[in-house]
Structure 1
Amino acid sequence: MTSTSPILVTGGTGTLGGHVVPLLRAEGRDVRVLTRQKRPSVDGVEYVTADLLKDEGIEAALDGVETVLHLAGGAKGDDEATRNLVRAAQRAGVRYLVYISVIGTDTMPLAYFRSKLGAERAIAESGIPYTTLRAAQFHDLTLTVVSKMAKLPVVPCPGGLRFQPVDSREVASRLVELTLGDPAGLVPDLTGPKVYAMADLARGYLAARGRRRPMLPIRLPGKTGRAYRAGENLSLDRATVGSRTWEAFLSERVG
């Protein structure tokens, strides 16, 4: 969609937003970033203070905006925050919503995924043309998890847990493409090029750091364990596949 109005990016100061905002600027678009802390605006990027979860400052942030790229998310409350954003967007006459979600929203029996699904539904039922992209776990988050695990004397490795981590820069590039295009509803998932067991991810990190740790296989109980063992968090068919591997990411960030 072509427009001269600024694109509002929620979560524009996070990992994904840090890649998205420069890409939008490179396409000649002005960007308005919604943030909870005040920041000085810079060339082509305006920072506005608002809080989606508290429903504060959103309407002012949407003034003159036609396109919203919704990246903001947290451990909980994403559904409520998104409903607040959607209501304000409806009142403001927003013409296009783009949302980044996560693979497994409609299959994983965890509150985090249910919250994401609630956010997806709020956008889909808003009456505003939209695009939703579900992505796999970012390499960045995977690194945070395995680096913490690797500090333990023995690394716990839940059996049956598999992940297909994707590079956040590739997700950002796809989101910018979708944002500058036409609304497409729920588009194919975006995954990394390989599926890894948790133990493989940990071993790769330890090797990159030149460390060794014993590993302890453990079994996740209950519905969550069954869902992970069944691969409900994966997208093995009809997904768009990125090119950057976990090994390449580690080589850049750790090795």
Structure 2
Amino acid sequence: MTMLVTGGTGNLGGHVLPLLHAAGVRPRVLSRRARTDTPQATYVVGDTVTGDGLDAATAGVTTVLHLAGGRGDDRAAEQVAAAARRAGVEHLVLVSVTAADRLPVGYYRAKAAAERAVQRSGVPSTVVRPAQFHDFVLRTLGRLAAWPVVPAPRAVWAEPVEVAAVARRLVEVTLGPPQGRVPDVVGPQVLSAEQLLRTLLRARGRDARVVRVPVPGPVGRACRERVNLAGPDALRTGGTWEEFVAGV
């Protein structure tokens, strides 16, 4: 198997590469700047949004694991899928996000568009939708937890997941055959924003007052209806939020 990984230098990629190495795979990793090769990977220069370097990066590749995310997710997926099609790639794996097609937020809309781009490309593919990572939830709620009075978004629920657990699932599906969209990968618990914040405050030894605040507009309505949560077939895996915040 010859594999290209985009986003291999990021948080998720840092967990994926050692697992691929343990499985006997030394992929090419796309990077926007030149890097020194390591025992785990060889590095090639390219840009998923502009498409620069993608044809060279995908030449001779059988599998592409597209982890790269951020601004221009939809355009990046189009570029990667087009290059994969031209190269005759046999399996393209896309990392999306739970509720990509259900939350009225730009980030989620871009992820949904990325899924459509991969599906339109005709390249055999697998789409994995993880919930928000523990790290991301910590960055988001950590700022609120520092306030003298802590605002907790009312009726907002989440299933935060351990990034290492998502990496394990991604490697499993990437080394297998294309499966289309597979069940979402989420954490073992469904927690309200208030529960997440109170757990974080306890871990930090703070006894701050927590006040519930409404979330207005379409996003608030979607959260109240819990459309941001995964379905009953989701893979619930990894450590808990309480375990995560106790260790940071």
**Structures share a fold, TM > 0.5?**
yes
Q: Does 1:20 align with 2:16?
A: yes
Distance apart, 1:13 and its partner CA: 1.1
Picking from 178, 202, 209, the partner of 1:183 is 178
State the partner residue of 1:138.
133
Which blocks of at least 5 consecutive residues in structure 1 are unaligned?
none
1:114-163 residue CA offsets vs partner (Å, 9 max, x unmatched): 11001001111211111111111111111111222222222221101100
Which blocks of at least 5 consecutive residues in structure 2 are unaligned?
none
Q: Does 1:39 align with 2:4?
A: no
Distance apart, 1:21 and its partner CA: 0.6
State the partner residue of 2:162.
167
Q: Does 1:228 align with 2:227?
A: no
Q: Using the alignment, how far apart are the partners of 1:150 and 1:170 within structure 2? A: 26
State the partner residue of 2:118.
123
SS for the counterpart of 2:93 is strand
State the partner residue of 1:193.
188
SS for the counterpart of 1:47 is strand
Distance apart, 1:251 and its partner CA: 2.0
Q: Using the alignment, how far apart are the partners of 1:48 and 1:154 within structure 2? A: 48
Within-5 A mapping of 1:205-216? 205-216=200-211
Q: Using the alignment, how far apart are the partners of 1:64 and 1:245 within structure 2? A: 40
State the partner residue of 1:252.
247
Q: Does 1:96 align with 2:98?
A: no
Q: Does 1:67 align with 2:63?
A: yes
Deviating beyond 6 angstroms after TM superposition, the runs of 4 or more aligned structure 1 residues are none
Q: Using the alignment, how far apart are the partners of 1:204 and 1:134 within structure 2? A: 25
Residue type matched to 2:43 in 1? Y
State the partner residue of 1:86.
81
Identity of aligned residues (%): 47
Picking from 105, 109, 114, the partner of 1:114 is 109
Q: Using the alignment, how far apart are the partners of 2:208 and 2:44 within structure 1? A: 46
What is the CA RMSD across the aligned residues, in angstroms? 1.2
State the partner residue of 1:157.
152
Residue type matched to 1:17 in 2? G
Distance apart, 1:54 and its partner CA: 1.8
Q: Using the alignment, how far apart are the partners of 2:40 and 2:235 within structure 1? A: 31
Distance apart, 1:236 and its partner CA: 4.0
Q: Using the alignment, how far apart are the partners of 1:236 and 1:97 within structure 2? A: 24
Q: Using the alignment, how far apart are the partners of 2:161 and 2:177 within structure 1? A: 24
SS for the counterpart of 1:121 is helix
Q: Using the alignment, how far apart are the partners of 2:120 and 2:149 within structure 1? A: 47
Q: Using the alignment, how far apart are the partners of 1:15 and 1:175 within structure 2? A: 14
Alpha carbons 2:6, 2:29 under 8 Å: kept? yes
Residue type matched to 2:210 in 1? M
State the partner residue of 1:8.
4
Size of the alignment, in residue pairs? 248
Distance apart, 1:243 and its partner CA: 3.7
Q: Does 1:202 align with 2:197?
A: yes
1:6-38 residue CA offsets vs partner (Å, 9 max, x unmatched): x11111111111000110010001111111122
Give the TM-score normalised by structure 2.
Answer: 0.96
Q: Using the alignment, how far apart are the partners of 2:34 and 2:140 within structure 1? A: 30
Q: Using the alignment, how far apart are the partners of 2:34 and 2:210 within structure 1? A: 44
Q: Using the alignment, how far apart are the partners of 1:114 and 1:184 within structure 2? A: 22
Alpha carbons 2:159, 2:187 under 8 Å: kept? yes
Residue type matched to 1:223 in 2? P
